[in-house]
Amino acid sequence: MMIIAWIGTGVMGRPMALHLAKAGHQVTVYNRTTAKTAGMAPDVKIETDIPSCVKTADVVFSMVGYPEDVEAVYRTVMKHAKPGAILVDMTTSSPSLAVKLYQEARTKGFDMLDAPVTGGDLGAINRTLSIMVGGDKDVFEKVLPLLEKLGARINHMGGPGSGQHTKLANQTAIAGAVAGVAEALMYASAKQLDPYRVISVLTGGSAHSWQAEINGPKMIDKDYRPGFYVKHYLKDLKLALAEKEDLSLPVLEQVTRAYELLAKHGYADMGTQAIIEYYLRKML
């Protein structure tokens, strides 16, 4: 059994923390909005501040919103965690910040990994996440048994920041996939095709993707309940743009503009499948 602190119990962090508790670990959680920890006890212990959450932890996990949240969290964690604790940030965040925090952690007697995930809320619930990890290989191997309770595919990608760079590559791939599904459905609608049958064809052949299988039907039904928020995906896309340097990535740039317009028109707190509204409302 390990003593684990978990910071951030949103749509993904909550089930992930509970998986670790159900695996027999002693888990203490903290969330800035305390209502999001409701119902988690007695499986986990709930604290109302970061110092109390992390003070005895062997491993500190975080799954928060934005890079500025990550930085603020670890400024506090590094003041109150016990020496030798392993810090694991699972937020999709800035690769540059991941390197900076890794270096700071080392000077203060901690080990740190960046370990963002992909697979959405269903992946978190069903323990089928893909987890990409940056940091020292020996530290990765120490936390691997914990990560295996959270996901189905866990890969060590290299040194600090490598997990975040891999996640931004993943988010770039999703940009084309999610927009492609939306455009396919718009084409199908214009040609009076049954959209559900179109999705069946797409998911049964070479056009198959997670986006088509999971988000395609939601686009048809206009079910925009978030598995992954527009505002959080837009954050990821902007991180990729900031890190791409002189690479020409026109699909990334176009899809980022689409999500910027969606956020501007009131879709920021809806799921990424709401991109269909970019086409339906002719925001182009």
Closest of 228, 234, 239 to residue 272, by C-alpha: 228
Give the integer Cα–Cα distance in Å for 129 and 152.
6
9 and 149 part of one domain: yes
Q: Which of 102, 130, 158 is the last residue of a domain?
A: 158
Closest of 117, 113, 110 to residue 92, by C-alpha: 117
How many structural domains does the chain have? 2
For residue 53, the domain's CATH number is 3.40.50.720
- 154 Ramachandran zone, left/alpha/beta (phi>0; psi -120 to 50): beta
pTM of the model: 0.92
C-beta of residue 110 within 8 angstroms of C-beta of residue 5? no
Q: What angle do CA 188, 230, 132 make, to 5 degrees?
A: 100
Catalytic, out of 167, 191, 218, 235: 167
213 and 147 part of one domain: no
For residue 218, the domain's CATH number is 1.10.1040.10
64 and 129 part of one domain: yes
Question: By residue range, what is the domain housing residue 207?
Answer: 165-280
pLDDT of amino acid 64: 95
Q: Examine the residue annotation and report whether 167 is marked as an active-site residue of this protein.
A: yes
11 and 150 part of one domain: yes
pLDDT of amino acid 120: 86
pLDDT tens for 11-54 read 999 999 999 999 999 999 999 999 999 999 999 999 999 999 99
